[in-house]
Amino acid sequence: MPLASRPLRKLGFLTIGLFDEADPRRGHESTLEIIELGEQLGFDTAWLRHRHLQYGISSPVAVLAAASQRTRRIELGTAVIPLGWENPLRLAEDLATVDLLSGGRLNPGVSIGPPAHFEQVREALYPGTGEHEDFGHDRALRLLGLVRGEPATDFEGTEGFEVYSRRVQPHSPGLAGRMWYGGGSLRSARWAGENGMNLLTSSVVKAEESEDFAQIQLSHIRTFRAHHPDGERARVSQGLVVIPTDSASPEQRARYEAYAETRTPRTATPQGPARLMFERDLVGTSAEIAERLSAHAAFQEVDEVAFALPFTFGHEDYVQILTDIAGHLGPALGWKPRTD
């Protein structure tokens, strides 16, 4: 099987961290165990999705703080934090704190736009001020500037026993270079490049110039790198859904295939007013998935991935999928597990 033109350098996974409302601790503990397993299997990165007012992780930064104390090597990321729910200054403090606790392993991914169902959540989130909030790129620029150490205030010095800083404290010098932007359009790809961020791509893009998912995503990657100071060396991570079945039981295989089949119709044509295109979930043996990825135009342009785990599977399913990705799929794509 021919390898992609860029041998896979970093292998990661992404999980939503579902939990049962009756026992939320168990679900969060399961996510931490999955991250620990990822490190044991040699994965380079583990990423958490972000869900508000749902039964998925609502505070990935807090969960990653816990994960940072139960791991020593694997990098920890968010994919992504929707900034419409956040105060950039407070978030910058939290990100720097967790980055320092992890020894410089945090990879914060963010996105812009108003909170989901904003009209219904407006008064709980921004009572009386919702119409004044800016949910565009300026919000991301505020966060970036604060993470980079730009002044948050013109006041500093000593006041009694209190010592004040002009910039966010603590400050983690390397964190700014590990900030990611989740983008699925030409505009967002260009903006991320122009502002020196890394780019997270997923299984969803906007059908702007064609209806071929791989070609659309390829154009985003190339646009990003054309406008990034690092050019071809600018970092891009791809996040498709892959479900290898090498060690799956017959029951698991049947369930995985049924899951993918229910999601396939949405991949045929652009969906909704935004014309969103979805990539098909890749289900099969690692050899079969590797063959399909090697022919994927966008995959050929990247050397980092964060394969997305399906939302609704159980803990043992995730163990099987991650074990097969690390033991079979990754090596078939030229990746070598970390052993240090």
Share of the chain above pLDDT 90, in %: 96
**Is pLDDT of 142 > 90?**
yes
- Condensed to tens digits (0 to 9), the pLDDT of residues 180-223 reads 999 999 999 999 999 999 999 999 999 998 999 999 999 999 99
- Condensed to tens digits (0 to 9), the pLDDT of residues 251-291 reads 999 999 999 999 999 999 999 999 999 999 999 999 999 99
3-state secondary structure of 79: strand
Provide the pLDDT confidence category of residue 2 given band limits of 50, 70 and 90. very low
Residues 6+ apart with CB under 8 A from 212: none
Kindly report the pTM of this predicted structure. Answer: 0.96
- HSE toward the beta carbon, residue 204, CA cutoff 13 A: 10
**Average pLDDT of the chain, as a whole number:** 96
Q: Which domains are present in the chain?
A: 10-332 (3.20.20.30)
- Condensed to tens digits (0 to 9), the pLDDT of residues 49-76 reads 999 999 999 999 999 999 999 999 999 9
Confidence (pLDDT) at 5: 59
Share of the chain above pLDDT 70, in %: 99
β-sheet bridge partners, residue 282: 242
**Is pLDDT of 147 > 60?**
yes
Using the Cα atoms of residue 140, residue 90, residue 107 and residue 312 in order, give the sign of their dihedral.
negative
Rg (CA), the chain: 20
- CA–CA separation, 25 and 61 (whole Å): 16
Phi and psi for 162 in degrees, rounded to 5? -95, 135
β-sheet bridge partners, residue 242: 282
Confidence (pLDDT) at 1: 38
Confidence (pLDDT) at 192: 98
Using the Cα atoms of residue 73, residue 110, residue 217 and residue 286 in order, give the sign of their dihedral.
positive
Closest CA to 270 of 204, 201, 207, 184: 207
- CA–CA separation, 252 and 145 (whole Å): 46
Confidence (pLDDT) at 340: 78
Confidence (pLDDT) at 338: 81
